[in-house]
Amino acid sequence: MARDLSVIIVNWNAGGLLRDCVESVYRETLKYSPQVIIVDNASSDDSVARVEKEFPEAVIIKNAANLGFAKGNNIGVEAAEGRYVVLLNPDARVTDRALDKLCGFLESAGAETGAAGPVLLNGDGSFQTQQGSRFPTLGTAFSQYLFLGRILGLPGIFMNRAPSSDGPRRVDWLCGACLACETEVYRQAGGLDEKFFLYAEDMDFCYRLGEKGLSSFILPAAKVIHVSKRSTSQQGEEISKYQVESLKEFFRTKNPSWKFTVFKGILFIGLAARFLALSLVSREKARSIRVLLKYVYS
């Protein structure tokens, strides 16, 4: 059976969320025939067993160890048969034919378009601010971490406000929770850089697309619910380390050393301000920021 689209889902102990994700792909993808490929990073729960029982047509690749998000996706794309490939988190749910819309956009957008992504929503339907916008620079970091993005609407690293229209919006990078591109574009770009175990690999991928003259777009008409961080939350402090160190590594490799020094200073001051503010309202949230702080200068 010819496939138009291959959906790569890298799983690690996502529980019932994986089943819900796969079900939403099949339910909401009607125009483009989907090949679902699940790359399991040595889960210890029954998430894959549930999918194997209910969706026997899905391709399951079982790794012997947790190889990370980037390598997991690259393994999945090696098995992809579709013209288009979508990287999709197991804690995401496709709504209102979102993958059809993304592939349709790529089909009509022209040769200078490299990747497309939906607007990500929280489980309650509200806009999720932690999605792609601008590459980290001193300006966007200052805006992001000193609250200027949310207060004044200045562009930050993440998209602090929902798009005002349903028209395609050019961005620097797209969140890997749901990212679509032509399969050959993905392969020719070298896939995700596996030096990033988790976080910033999506940013780096879009950066390399840009070096090839290919643009990335968010398509607000396509919406995907990103319900939680089930898999990552289980890894505790290690996730905080990945969040900070991956962002630092991306910035370091693209900028001179003096800018990297300033960037770390902005990051530290911004996180410290958040820690102080959250200390007044939530010890648990303040504690999570304190963990991030410890890795800024590590």
* Burial letters 90-104, b for 16+ CB under 10 A, else e: bbbbbbebbbbbbbb
DSSP string, 169-200: EEES---TTEEEEEHHHHHHTTSS-TT-SSSS
Give per-residue pLDDT as tens, 85-135.
999 999 999 999 999 999 999 999 988 999 999 999 999 999 998 899 999
Please report the pLDDT score of residue 238 as a whole number: 72
Query: Strand, coil or helix: what is 54?
Result: helix
Q: Which residues pair with 215 in a beta bridge?
A: 113
Q: What is the pLDDT of residue 237?
A: 66
**What's the pLDDT at 233?**
47
Q: What is the pTM of this model?
A: 0.93
The CATH code of domain 5-127+162-230 reads 3.90.550.10
Q: What is the largest CA-CA distance in the chain?
A: 58
Beta bridge partners of 132: 158
- What's at 6, amino acid-wise? S
Residue 35 · residue 3 · CB < 8 Å: yes
Are the C-beta atoms of residues 127 and 162 closer than 8 Å to each other?
A: yes
To 5 degrees, how large is the angle CA 48–CA 51–CA 56? Answer: 120
The C-alpha atoms of residue 248 and residue 195 are separated, in whole angstroms, by 13
CATH 3.90.550.10 domain extents, the chain: 5-127+162-230
Which two structure tokens, joined as six digits, stand for 100?
């059809």
Q: Which of 297, 291, 258 lies closest to 138, judged by CA?
A: 258
125: left (phi over 0), alpha (psi -120 to 50) or beta: left
Q: In angstroms, rounded to a whole number, what is the distance separating the alpha carbons of residues 11 and 204?
A: 21
End-to-end CA distance of the chain: 51
The series of mean pLDDT values per 10 residues for the chain, 298 residues long, is: 88 96 98 97 96 97 96 98 97 97 96 96 92 95 85 84 90 97 97 94 98 97 84 58 93 97 96 90 86 90
* Strand ranges, E, within the chain: 5-11, 34-41, 59-63, 84-88, 92-94, 113-121, 169-171, 178-182, 215-226
The pLDDT of residue 283: 83
What is the reported pLDDT for 232? 44
Structure tokens of 211? 């070096």
Please tell me the predicted confidence (pLDDT) of residue 78. 98
Q: Which two tokens stand for residue 25?
A: 């792909």
Question: If we measure between CA atoms, which residue out of 125, 72, 126, 118 comes closest to residue 222?
Answer: 118
